[in-house]
């Protein structure tokens, strides 16, 4: 495992925008439903729906629209605002990674890999 940077933005209205919400938006684009988007992340439909609802309430415009089932089936998709939000999240993530790449490599290179904090998960990705 290598060092990784996680970008989370704490917004002035008390909400947070981070990798989980961005991934849910991306998965909605890919899978076309909140249920499938959440399942791809290993979360329950209820958790995914609550997260989608929170994303919609965070901003002045909704990010996700849903269609009820029926002959054509239900589903979800991003609004134009949601598409722009996802694009913004991806750009901020990429630009922040680029900005700290050399410093992050230096910090990682200085690690004592034999040190394990008490109760820490294995570093091989099992956490």
What residue ranges do the domains of the chain occupy? 16-109
What predicted TM-score, i.e. pTM, was given to this entire model?
0.84
Burial (CB count <10 Å: 0-12, 13-18, 19+), residue 45 = middle
State whether CATH 2.30.38.10 applies to domain 16-109: no
SS3 38: helix
Q: Which two tokens stand for residue 109?
A: 């290179």
Q: What is the pLDDT of residues 2-61, one digit of tens each?
A: 888 999 999 999 999 999 999 999 999 999 999 999 999 999 999 999 999 999 999 999
The pLDDT score that the predictor gives to residue 97 is: 95
What pLDDT, on a 0 to 100 scale, did the predictor assign at position 118? 82
Q: Return d(Cα 16, Cα 106) in angstroms, integer.
A: 29
Convert the pLDDT of each residue in 51-103 to its tens digit. Answer: 999 999 999 999 999 988 766 667 999 999 999 999 999 999 999 999 999 99
| Sequence-distant (≥ 6) Cβ neighbours of residue 100 within 8 angstroms | 5
């Amino acid at each position: 495992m290598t060092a990784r940077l996680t970008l989370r933005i704490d917004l002035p209205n008390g909400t947070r925008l981070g990798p989980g919400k961005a991934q849910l938006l991306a998965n909605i684009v890919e899978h076309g439903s909140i249920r499938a988007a959440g399942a791809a992340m290993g979360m329950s439909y209820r958790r995914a729906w609550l997260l989608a609802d929170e994303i919609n309430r965070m901003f002045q415009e909704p990010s996700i629209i849903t269609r009820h089932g029926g002959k054509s089936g239900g589903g979800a998709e991003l609004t134009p605002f949601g598409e722009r939000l996802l694009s913004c999240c991806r750009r901020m993530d990429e630009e922040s990674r680029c900005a700290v790449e050399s410093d992050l490599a230096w910090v990682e290179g200085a690690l004592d890999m034999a040190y394990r904090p008490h109760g820490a998960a294995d570093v091989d990705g099992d956490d």
